Amino acid sequence: MRTQKIIPRKYYSIKLPLTPTMLHAFLLYYFNAPSWLIGIYGTLCVIVWIIVFIGIYNQEQDESLVNSTKE
């Protein structure tokens, strides 16, 4: 898999899908969703989190992208 060049993480925060995951899980339990729906949601959450971590792992931080002005 190809690495993606990104601005170093000290200049921004990583946006993980933690809040939507917790919110949707809370709403499923609050409205008494059937267990098969909770199982499907849990499976999709695991897949999304794996994709997020693979994406973070395949990033290469490049300091030259911070102030890249062409003169």
In a domain, 48, yes or no: yes
Look at residue 47 and tell me if it is in a domain. yes
Residue 27: inside a domain: yes
Range of the domain at 31: 18-57
What pLDDT score was predicted for residue 70? 57
6 located within any domain: no
The length of the chain, given as a count of residues:
71
pLDDT digits (tens, 9 = 90+) for 7-42: 777 787 778 899 999 999 999 999 999 999 999 999
Residue 40 forms part of a structural domain? yes
Residue 35 lies in a domain: yes
Please state the domain count of the chain. Answer: 1
58, pLDDT greater than 80: yes
Supply the pLDDT for residue 69: 61
**Residue 50 forms part of a structural domain:** yes
Copy the structure tokens of residue 61.
């931080």
pLDDT given for residue 34 in this prediction = 97
Pairwise pLDDT comparison (35 vs 62), residue with the higher score: 35
What residues contact residue 3 under an 8 Å CB cut-off, 6+ apart? 58, 59, 60
Q: What per-residue confidence (pLDDT) applies to 67?
A: 72
Report if residue 9 sits inside a domain: no
